[in-house]
Structure 1
Amino acid sequence: MNHTDQRWQESNPDLVSIIRDEVTASGPISFERFMDLALYHPEHGYYRAESPAPGRAGDFLTAPEAHPIFGAVLAGQIVAFDAALGHPAPFTIIEYGAGSGKLIRPLLAEIRQKLPDLYARISYTPVELNVTRRTELIQHLADGGHQERLSEDTNPSTVIGCVLANEFIDAFPARRFVQQGDTLHEIHVDWQDGWFAEVTTPVDDSATREYLERHGYDLQPGEQFELHPGIERWVQDVDQALSRGSVLIIDYGYPAQELFNDHRRNGTVRAYHQHGVTTELYRGIGRQDLTAHVNFSELQWQAEQHGFTLDRLTTQAELLESLGLGERLFALQSSNSITSDEYLATRAAVLRMIDPGAMGRFRVMMLSR
């Protein structure tokens, strides 16, 4: 077996053929287009495929998947959002990238137990592209007795409440750039010698120039960076959906001044497969996740163009600690409701969530209007 054959076998061959045919028909495609097809092709994309394990559960452990305590603690922030709005009825929760419901189910259970009045006012709208995951979500809500909270409105507009987006934006298809001498080039994907290869093309479009100027980027030769065009489109969607309320975003990334530094000069695009991370972006196509760090300064700027105000920018560890995660864990230690093994498993999950070298450093942005 030659190396090329191995790459075909590691990947979804139907998806490889689709991307190859597009490249050979029209020439090199942008990395944004490649990432869009790899993740979101309607039939074969990583986030659309039905098997074996669609989405991140099989390749990267998110906080809601680590333990339900994440959703239970995050319920405290929903309570605060509701109070700030004056307890509206209904209080709508829109969750982007809802997956199979690992975040919302413990969140709703916590609110039902502590604040039944708020629970009765909640209308929950999940936004999930994968049909299999959405089916699992609906079943998980039913198993938890939350089916009455599920809204039948799949395209809400002018609601009052909040938007949740946990590890959602980093998977938006990204444009990639590299500074070559005095000229900025965009990275494209070509088909050469039987597989995908990167090529670059000089670029001087106004949107990219404005982006660099907005964030004060002074690129050095060889330096790479990414730009998520989908951020602007997503903020527009949120603007149309939410008339009044808050937005809670948790994701990989940094403000602009931290995102661009020497140890990220090769960019932040990564692939995740079976809980491992790699820069081999053209292996396992359709079978591995692709991500790029979020520029939270750009996200804030786009939100402000639509009337949102930044309320808080912190880390996941700081948010969870401020919501009483430590106190909850301490209470479990002396509780008779769980076994010692269950406590140790919960403690291990909590430590992962607040680890400053991993999940704990994820950025949390809160916006409101």
Structure 2
Amino acid sequence: MTAGLYGPDGFFTARAGGPSQHFRTSVHASPLFAGALLTLVERVDAALGHPKAFDLVDVGAGGGELLATLRAMLPDHLARRARLTAVEVAPRPDGLDPGVGWRRDIPDGIVGLLVATEWLDNVPLDVLDLDDAGRRRRVEVEPATGKESLGGPPDAADLFWLSRWWPAGGRVEIGWPRDAAWADAVDHVRRGCALAVDYGHLRADRPPLGTLTGFLGGRQVPPVPDGSRDVTAHVAMDAVAAAAGTPYELIRQREALKALGIDGARPPLDLAHRDPAAYVRALSAAGAAAELIEPGGLGAHWWLLHTVGIERRGSMLL
């Protein structure tokens, strides 16, 4: 998985057109998503007392679309203080707004908001399955074909994680690399918040057959780790949340976006008579909002928000 995603010929390092050509995220679905995040940015800025410099860091930034959209939306009082940084393993894309920085690693001492939208699902992990004797074994894969076979037993770290977070099920995905990656990301925030948005599951509803899959050209395909496609698995969100060791909120995207002003409601019909052009624009926005909060789609994503070094008075999201 590491080689298929991040190696010299990996999906995220060498594929023309970028990930947005192969799968659709909330960032790509509508600028309404960035608008909702702007509301959160303003809340974090207020909680920090409007610092002289406000960091806005996007981990797993893709083509930098989210930060470019946010930069255009920032009100003047924030635009003058904002430092926007995209963190991505691929080279900086041509034509990206020069006001957006670009680097491979997360900057230290963040004061502001760190965002990771559908990043953790691409942090590589191992998969275990049961052999004929009912013993857990590592799943090995031939990179060129995706053909699977069973290898050696899990190690002590795998078993420790499983005992707490995924004790049942035949085929399981070892999530501690995601826990470590997120804890490290949150540790780079000196004061402010860290937000992970991803599809995932909780201990009570782990999928019995796992979730590992691939995406290519907008279609779900077998997870062959040859660099031609995205290879992804859902995130054990409760394990990731606990690993960071700071106060957090964990809610569905549908709830979060509604609380941040996106409801997907259709515009009133009388607007069609008074201002047909405005009605069409409002109807289009309602359609985009409905996609973002659809319970069976993007609306089922989880929002995990950690607060670091600030006094939280109630929810930052609701």
Matched-pair identity in %: 24
Matched, 1:300 2:238: no
Matched, 1:361 2:300: yes
State which of 288, 309, 323 in structure 1 corresponds to 2:229: 288
Structure 2 residue identity aligned to 1:177? L
Structure 2 residue identity aligned to 1:211? W
Structure 1 residue identity aligned to 2:117? N
Deviations 1:303-335 (A, max 9, x none): 01xxx221x11111111100011389759x959
Residues 87-106 of structure 1 aligned to structure 2 (within 5 Å) = 87-106=50-69
Structure-1 residue corresponding to 2:312: none
Shift in Å at residue 151 of structure 1? 7.7
- Residue aligned with 2:34, SS: helix
Q: TM-score if structure 1 supplies the norm length? A: 0.75
State which of 46, 49, 59 in structure 1 corresponds to 2:14: 49
State which of 230, 237, 240 in structure 1 corresponds to 2:184: 237
Is the 1:165–1:248 Cα contact (8 Å) retained in structure 2? yes
Structure 2 residue identity aligned to 1:141? D
Structure 1 residue identity aligned to 2:128? F
Shift in Å at residue 141 of structure 1? 2.2
Structure 1 residue identity aligned to 2:297? A
Shift in Å at residue 299 of structure 1? 0.3
Structure 2 residue identity aligned to 1:286? G
Is the 1:68–1:102 Cα contact (8 Å) retained in structure 2? no
Structure-2 residue corresponding to 1:37: 3
Shift in Å at residue 162 of structure 1? 1.5
- Residue aligned with 2:79, SS: helix
Shift in Å at residue 59 of structure 1? 1.3
**Structure 2: distance between partners of 1:165 and 1:110:** 19
Structure 2 residue identity aligned to 1:119? A
**Structure 1: distance between partners of 2:289 and 2:174:** 32
- Residue aligned with 2:44, SS: helix
Structure 1 residue identity aligned to 2:172? F
Q: How many residue pairs get matched?
A: 304
Q: CA RMSD in A?
A: 2.8
- Residue aligned with 2:14, SS: coil
Q: TM-score if structure 2 supplies the norm length? A: 0.86
Structure-2 residue corresponding to 1:122: 82
Matched, 1:135 2:76: no
Is the 2:267–2:286 Cα contact (8 Å) retained in structure 1? no
Deviations 1:336-366 (A, max 9, x none): 7965554443332221111100100001100
Task: Work out which of the two has the higher radius of gyration on C-alpha atoms and give 1 or 2.
Answer: 1
The structure where helix makes up a greater share of residues is 1
Structure 1 residue identity aligned to 2:286? R
Is the 2:215–2:229 Cα contact (8 Å) retained in structure 1? yes
Shift in Å at residue 216 of structure 1? 5.8
Residues 170-185 of structure 1 aligned to structure 2 (within 5 Å) = 170-180=121-131, 181-185=133-137
Structure-2 residue corresponding to 1:271: 214
Is the 2:27–2:66 Cα contact (8 Å) retained in structure 1? yes
**Structure 1: distance between partners of 2:82 and 2:276:** 28
Matched, 1:64 2:27: yes
Structure-2 residue corresponding to 1:167: 118
Structure-2 residue corresponding to 1:316: 253
Q: Which runs of 5+ in 1 are unaligned?
A: 1-34
Deviations 1:17-50 (A, max 9, x none): xxxxxxxxxxxxxxxxxx11111112x1111115
